[in-house]
Amino acid sequence: MKNKEILVEKFYQMANLLIQEMQTPWSYGGDFLLSHSEIHLLEAIKSQEGANVSELAAYLEITSGAVSQGTKKLLDKELIESYKKKGNRKETFSRLTPLGERICEGHRKHHECMWEVWQEFMTDLDQNETQLVSDFLEMVTQGITQMIAQGERRLND
């Protein structure tokens, strides 16, 4: 195989592993597994303190229905609790429980471990190599974004 073909093959291997990682439930310190969407909803509830369902949906770029379904799962796992704000009986808000806080900390450590591996590689790169990797990743991101947009347009035609 030529070097460029090997590079493309390695890229697709990496992309497939990322997809697999995103689809694999993880334990972040609790007695249960959390999906990618559950842990990121939990993180959003933590970082967007006091946000309602619509605000969380906008922040995560998902539907309000998906946020409602996700919060129910997190409530069932006792990672969040619901509450009402004074003067607002209509909306329900969520906040992390101590267990939810512990799980968020476990997720942060998970990302730190991944970062350490990447950091080892990146410290050996000079400025030109860093720019080359950055340009490649930007090109891939733009290409995937365009493919997704084209696919959405085909569905809407």
Question: What span, in angstroms and rounded, lies between the C-alpha atoms of 90 and 84?
Answer: 8
> Other C-beta atoms within 10 Å of 93: how many?
20
- pTM of the shown model: 0.77
Q: Tokens at residue 36, please?
A: 């990618």
Measured CA to CA, the distance from residue 100 to residue 119 in angstroms comes to 28
* Structure confidence at residue 153 (pLDDT): 66
Cβ pair 77, 33 in contact under 8 A: no
Q: What is the pLDDT along the chain (157 residues), one digit of tens a residue?
A: 688 889 889 988 998 998 998 899 999 988 889 999 999 999 999 999 999 999 999 999 999 999 999 999 999 999 999 999 888 888 889 999 999 999 999 999 988 988 888 888 889 899 999 999 999 889 988 988 898 888 766 666 6
